Structure 1
Amino acid sequence: MMKNVKLSPILALILVCTLALSALLASGCGASSQSSQNGETTSKSGLKGELTISGSTSMEEVNNALADAFMAKNPDVKINVQALGSSQGIQAVSEGSAQIGASSRALKDDEKTKTPDLKEIAIAMDGIAVVINPANAIADLKTDDIKKIYTGEISNWKDLGGSDTPITVVRREDGSGTLDAFSELIMGGKTRDIKYVSSAVIQNSTGAVMSSVAGDPGAIGFASMGAVDSKLKAVKVDGIAATPGNVLNKTYRAQRPFVYVTKGDAAGLTKAFIDFALSAEGQKAVSEAKAIPLNK
């Protein structure tokens, strides 16, 4: 028979603290396990690895927004976003240095011929805004007038009802998806077939175009609709304002898809990211990045 053991007050206190600490540790382990199961500290998807998205400068904000949202859900995934231009992004995918090419235009026939297994999927829509400096009183331009400005037939704003100010033409570099879309949708042809005015200021990014136009009262340029801010003024084209609503109802003519390009069918981490971009959560990120979601 067990004898009653009388503990000193100090030993009793140590025993109580030990039991309490054991209970606390057990509770903490259980909470940690539960937290992992709920995806709060550990991704339930189990996705891990690195993904490179290379391409359009017009899509840079969209790509970053989607990448940030996806990495927040999948902490073991790292996504690198490179804004080098649509053609460069497609080339990177073709050569295997990127998993996703971000293109602000559809694939060209020669790109499909060169790399037959390229696949493309639209993840958003965009409008190309024709922009001028806010000091310019012009509010509306006809498509034909824009063509004449960009080919050099019209070189002063006074010829269009504006002030006696020489027009500074600003455009994107050859190979830009935005330039190719502008050539097709506004100029009515392929970039290689259009004789753009030789005096045009050529910029290699959306931001550079915006800065050029914002700093020159006589300038005109074009850029992704979502990039236009208070430093620029988007003119109406043929009486139609450059707004998301007019892109969706197809009344604004200068509209294009934002496309993700892969080599072969997307799989693994690449597929998971594209699926996320097309999900309700991904399309919300697209909208917050000022592009036009497909499901709006």
Structure 2
Amino acid sequence: MKMKKLLLFMMLTLMLAVVAACGNGSEDETGTGGSADGGTDSGEEEAPSEEAEGQLVLSGSSAIQPLMAAGAEEFMAANAGADIQVQAGGSGQGLSQVADGSVDIGNSDVFAEEKEEIPADELVDHRIAVVGMGPAVHPEVGIEDISSEDLIKVFTGEVTNWSELGGEDVEITLVNRPDSSGTRATFVNYALDGAEPAEGITEDSSNTVKQIISETEGAIGYLAFSYYNDDSVLPLQLDGVEQTDENVTTGDYAVWAYMHSYTNGEPEGLAKTFLDYMMSEDVQQVVVPELGYIPSTDMQVERDAEGNQTDVQ
């Protein structure tokens, strides 16, 4: 009987020791009850982050469409419940549709303030990226640099042969974008100082503009930097400044435009989540440059709707 009592006492003592050890295991070395990494244990598991879900419709500038489409594809791959449709139609259409509420985001390569019929004060501007652009010529015109003054003379028809500028004796062929083009508006404003180009060949597609320049002796047009991916056309230096991303970001080269995404009021829900994603480091530093755009976050200068350029504060 004494042996049984002794065994029972030993078992009870052992059980109490185990319970005490388990209780002490919830405390850290300081005895504060914190977790091993120094954090506080609330007794509840951290809730997993929720995936974004819902539908967004974007429309507008064809210049920014490839970037927004790529961003949407990556975003939807990580958020199965999100459906983002990216449509083109032009900057004017994107601005009109976001203003009347028929789309969630209106993409534009011009400021909303530049469109008189758009209630710009009701829209919120999100500058997703920047695109640089400039004069491009047939590689055998005989010059590599042009002054702003001479560029205006070329596009207004005052100079009609490259020999007048020290180049080859060949007539100049102008290749323009249509009046509705945001690329044309940017080039006219910042490369031609507002002077309207003379009549020439007019093409709606930058790919076609590039092809015509490359195949036409004496041709000159204007293209975004992303089209300078081979030797078929020659980007002219403007006033001795090369057409490079770095020169745009520092403000040394002035022919560039924002890729705007406008919302009607401050964005909420999925629209805000998606726009925040487009401004994330992964998109800005990987997707944006891969597609030939310049990250907005790299800009050392900024520009307002009146064209005033100032240093980023």
Question: TM-score, with normalisation over the residues of structure 2?
Answer: 0.73
Residues 221/66 of structure 1: CA separation in 2 closer, same or farther (3 Å cut): same
Say if 1:111 and 1:50 are closer, same or farther in 2 by CA, change over 3 A.
Answer: farther
Q: What residue is the counterpart of 1:221 in the other structure? A: 221
SS in 2 for 1:68: helix
What is the distance in 1 between the residues matched to 2:129 and 2:63? 12
1:97 paired residue among 87, 97, 102: 102
Q: 1:110: how far off? A: 4.2
**Residues 218, 287 of structure 1: alpha-carbon distance in 2 compared, 3 angstrom cutoff:** same
- 1:147-167 residue CA offsets vs partner (Å, 9 max, x unmatched): 111111111112112212221
* In structure 2, distance between residues paired with 1:78 and 1:217: 47
Match of 1:154 in 2: 159
**Match of residue 197 from structure 2:** 196
Cα pair 1:122 1:259 within 8 Å, conserved: yes
Q: Which has the larger radius of gyration?
A: 2
Q: Is contact 1:125-1:292 (8 Å) kept?
A: yes
**2:294 aligned partner, one-letter code:** I
Name the count of aligned residue pairs: 251
Identify, as 1 or 2, the structure richer in helix: 1
Q: Is the CA contact (8 Å cut-off) linking 2:135 and 2:222 kept in structure 1?
A: yes
Report what 2:243 is aligned to.
Answer: 242
Structure 1 stretches of at least 4 aligned residues deviating more than 6 Å after TM superposition: none
CA distance, structure 2, for counterparts of residue 55 and residue 133 of structure 1 = 31
- In 2, the alpha carbon distance for the partners of 1:249 and 1:142 equals 20
Q: Which residue pairs with 1:6 in the alignment? A: none
- Relative distance call for 1:106 and 1:38 in structure 2 (3 A) is same
CA shift, 1:113, in A, is: 5.4
Superposition map of 1:41-80 within 5 A: 44-80=49-85
Residue identity opposite 2:296 in structure 1: L
User: CA, structure 1 residues 155+226, in 2 after alignment: closer, same or farther (shift >3 Å)?
Assistant: same
Alignment CA distance shift 1:133-1:229 (3 Å) = farther
Judged with a 3 Å threshold, the aligned counterparts in structure 2 of structure 1 residues 81 and 235 are, in CA distance, closer, same or farther, namely same
- TM-score, normalisation: structure 1: 0.77
Aligned to 1:13: none
Which structure 1 segments of 5+ residues have no match? 1-36
Relative contact order higher in (CA < 8 Å, ≥ 6 apart): 1
Q: Percent identity?
A: 31
Root-mean-square deviation over aligned CA pairs: 2.3
Distance 1:59 1:121 in 2: 13
Distance 1:213 1:255, change over 3 A: same
Q: Deviation of residue 178 (structure 1)?
A: 1.3
User: Contact 1:87–1:177 (CA<8 Å) still a contact in 2?
Assistant: no
1:83-162 correspondence runs (5 A): 83-111=88-116, 114=119, 116-162=121-167
- What is aligned with 1:25? none
The answer for the alignment partner of 2:279 in structure 1 is 278
Change (3 A) 1:140 1:46: same
How far apart in 2 are the matches of 1:208 and 1:81?
23
Could you tell me which amino acid in structure 2 is paired with residue 120 of structure 1?
A: D
Correspondence for 1:288: 290
**CA spacing shift, 1:61–1:133, aligned 2, 3 Å:** farther
Aligned to 1:176: 181
SS in 2 for 1:97: coil
Distance 1:218 1:165, change over 3 A: same
Q: Residue 245 of structure 1: CA displacement?
A: 0.7
Instruction: Give unpaired runs (5+ residues) of structure 2.
Output: 1-45, 299-313
